[in-house]
Amino acid sequence: HIQGAGQFPRTQPFSIGLWINSPEQFERSVIWRRSKAWTDAGSRGYELLLLDGRLSTALIHFDPGNSIRVQAKQPLPANEWHHVTVTYDGSSRASGLKLYLDGAPLDSEIVRDKLTKNIEGGGDPDLRLGERFRDVGFKNGKVDELHVFTRELTAIEVAQLYDRESLESALSTPTGALGPATRSQLRDYFLATAHPPYSEALEKLKAARNAKRSLVEPIQEIMAMRKMEKPRQSYVLKRGMYNARAEEVGFDTPATLPPFPEDQPRNRLGLAKWLTAPDHPLTARVTVNRYWQMFFGRGLVRTPEDFGSQGSPPTHPELLDWLARDFIDHGWDLHHLIRQIVRSSTYRQGTATDRQQREIDPENLYLARGPAQRLSAEMIRDNALALSGLLVRKVGGASVKPYEVAVSFKPANHDKGEGLYRRSVYTWWKRTAPAPVMMTLNSSKRDVCRVRREVTASPLQAFVLLNGPQFVEASRVMGAKLLKQHGNAPDALVGEAYRSFTSRHPSEKEAQVLRALFDEQLAHFEDHPDQARGLMGTGAAPEEQDLPAHEVAAAAVLVNAIMNLDEAVTKR
C-alpha cells in the first residue's frame, strides 16, 4: 500500500497509472482501491477493478446509488503486460472519468452517473494494490511503475507514461509536420502546464465546485427507492437455487385480487393506483382496521398483520365494510375517518361494566362498553414530562439521548439540557439495542416490522415508574410546582396532583388516603434530611432552593404514587 497517498475529494482532479499483467480474465478482481472493505460504508472511495475481464473504474459515495462508474467494452487480454491509466477531472460526472490502455483512450461505456456526496472516509486512508477485505484480490497478477498525480493528465501525457517518447517526439517535430490529432493534444498539454490564465480558470472552477460541495454535503439524506433504467430480468428459481432458472417472470399482481388495470403502467405508479382503486378489497379495510385498533386497543380484525386465511376473521364484517366504503367515498380522508370513530356512540360509551357483562363478553366483542387500554410507553413518559413542565415542545431536529440510553443493551452517554426532555418520538434508537426501560413499558421493537404492540402487565413496569430517573425527576419538579401553588393548602395540593393525572377530582376516601401519604412522607423526610437531599438530586433539572427539601421530597413521593395509579396510565 502507498501510505497517505490518494486522499482526494470528489472535486480534486487526479490521475493514476501503472503497468499490469493479469494471469486470467477475472470475473472480479481488485487492481487498486482507496476504500474500506467491499460493501462496508457503501464501498465509499474510488477503485479500479476487473469485472468479467473488463477494466472498470468508479468514484463512490454509496454504491450503487451515489457513484460514477466507467467500464471498458472489451476484456483485457490475459498474460500480457499493459499500461492502464485512469484520469479524473473533478467534475463528479462520469464523462470526466476516463480509461486509457497502452497510452490510448479505451472504448468504454458509462455504467453509473450520479455522484453528489463525498468520496472520502469509508475507513482505509491509503491507496492499496491488489486486495480488499471481503473482496477478490488480484491473485497471481503483476503490477509495476505506479504513478499518482494530483491533476488530470492530458492524452499526450498518458501516452508518454506508456512509451516514454510520445511527448518528446511531438515537441521535437516541426509544427508543419504535426497532424491534427497531435496538434490538439499538444494544445491541451500547453494549456494544462504552461498557460497561467487556463490554470487560474481551473482553480476558480475548483473553488466553485468546493463551494457547492460545502453546501450540498451537510444536507441529511434518507434512503429512497430509485427505478432502474432497465429492469433486471427475474426468473422462477427451481428449488430456490439461483443458478437453476426456470421461466422468466414480469410485473403482475396476485391472481386472487382484482386484475391489474390495462390502462395503467406496470410500475410503482400503476401499483399505487391499483392499490387505491375504489374496488380494491384490501387497502381501505386494512387502513380502517389499523385506526380502529388505535382507538379501541384491538382491531375489528384481531390480526392486523394478516388479513389472509391464516388471520382472524373480522368480528364485525359489515361495520368494517361500511367504514372502508365511507373512507373511500370521502377521498381517503383520515380526518373524516377519525371523526367517524371518535364521535360514534360506541367509542363514547363508558368503560364501567358489571359482572354479568364481563362473564358474557369478557373481551368486549359486542362493543357493549367503551375501550380501556394502557397508554403506550411514549405517552406515559411524555405525559409525566408535560405535567411537570419539563417537556420541550420543539418540533423537528436531530435525535436526542435521554436517561434511558445510558442503560440500554449497548449503553451510550445521555444528553444534557433540553435533549433530556424532548418528546419520545425524537429519542435515539439503536435497532439491535433498545432501551430496556421503554421495552418494559411495551415499546415497539425495531428488529422487524410490527403493526401492533404486545400488552403485558409486569411488576417491572411499576419499578420503572417508581425508580426511573426520568419519572422521579418529573415527580420532583411537579411536586415543587404544586408546593408553589398550594403550599399552605395540602388538600388542594393533593386534589390538583390527582386531577392532573386522572382528569377527575379524587373521592373523599381517595383524598384521605393521599393526604395521609403526604403527611407520612413529610414527617419521614423531616426526620431523614439526607434522604430528602438524595431525592432532590435526582435528574438534571435544577433544584428549588427556596422550598424546604423535605416538603419537595414528600410532594414528589405523592406525585409519583399517583403517577403509578391504574387511572394515570390507562385511557378510559
Calpha distance 531→550 (Å, rounded)? 9
Q: How many CB atoms lie within 10 A of CB 22?
A: 25
Phi-psi region of 223 (alpha: psi -120 to 50; beta: other; left: phi over 0): beta
* Helices within 176-258 (DSSP H only): 180-194, 196-216
pLDDT at position 571, please?
A: 87
pLDDT at position 267, please?
A: 85
* Domain assignments of the chain as residue spans, ordered by start: 14-153+195-199, 234-275, 283-360, 373-572
Res 324 pLDDT > 80:
yes
The pLDDT of 485-505, averaged and rounded, is 92
- Long-range contacts, stretch 109-114, CB < 8 angstroms, 24+ apart: 109/70, 109/71, 109/73, 110/68, 110/69, 110/70, 111/56, 111/58, 111/69, 111/70, 111/71, 112/58, 112/64, 112/67, 112/68, 112/69, 113/68, 114/65, 114/66, 114/67, 114/68
Centroid of chain to Cα 260? 32
- pLDDT interval class at 320 (50, 70, 90): very high
Length of the chain: 572
Q: For 140-151, give the DSSP string.
A: T-EEEEEEEESS
Calpha distance 58→49 (Å, rounded)? 9
Res 104 pLDDT > 80:
yes
Pairing status of strand 81-88 against strand 14-21: antiparallel
- pLDDT interval class at 204 (50, 70, 90): very high
- Check: CB of residue 502 under 8 Å from CB of residue 514: no
- Check: CB of residue 152 under 8 Å from CB of residue 88: yes
Q: What is the pLDDT of residues 375-398, one digit of tens each?
A: 899 999 999 999 999 999 999 988
Centroid of chain to Cα 300? 32
pLDDT at position 330, please?
A: 95
Q: Which residue has the higher pLDDT, 429 or 18?
A: 18
pLDDT at position 1, please?
A: 66
Q: What is the pLDDT of residues 107-153, one digit of tens each?
A: 999 999 999 999 887 666 788 899 888 889 999 999 999 999 999 99
Q: What is the pLDDT of residues 224-234, one digit of tens each?
A: 777 777 788 89
Highest mean pLDDT out of 66-75, 215-224, 357-366? 66-75
- Sequence-distant (6+) residues with CB within 8 A of 426 are 397, 398, 399, 400
CATH number of 14-153+195-199: 2.60.120.200
Res 432 pLDDT > 80:
no
Calpha distance 47→84 (Å, rounded)? 13
Res 445 pLDDT > 70:
yes
Q: What is the mean pLDDT of the chain?
A: 90
The pLDDT of 535-553, averaged and rounded, is 89
Q: Which three cell numbers stand for residue 185?
A: 493534444
Please, is 292 exposed, middle or buried when counting C-beta atoms within 10 Å of its C-beta (0-12, 13-18, 19+)?
buried
Q: Tell the residue number behind the cell numbers 427507492, with chain if given.
A: 225
Q: What percent of the chain has pLDDT over 70?
A: 99
Phi-psi region of 532 (alpha: psi -120 to 50; beta: other; left: phi over 0): alpha
The pLDDT of 513-533, averaged and rounded, is 93
Calpha distance 143→79 (Å, rounded)? 12
Q: Which three cell numbers stand for residue 186?
A: 499538444
The pLDDT of 458-462, averaged and rounded, is 89
For residue 136, the one-letter residue type is V
The pLDDT of 170-199, averaged and rounded, is 89
- Check: CB of residue 261 under 8 Å from CB of residue 274: yes
- Signed CA dihedral, 184, 185, 186, 188: sign only: positive
For residue 552, the one-letter residue type is V
Q: What is the pLDDT of residues 69-98, one digit of tens each?
A: 999 999 999 999 999 999 999 999 999 999
Res 417 pLDDT > 80:
yes
The pLDDT of 443-452, averaged and rounded, is 82
* End-to-end CA separation in angstroms for the chain: 68
Calpha distance 314→302 (Å, rounded)? 7
Calpha distance 349→341 (Å, rounded)? 12
- Signed CA dihedral, 462, 466, 468, 474: sign only: positive
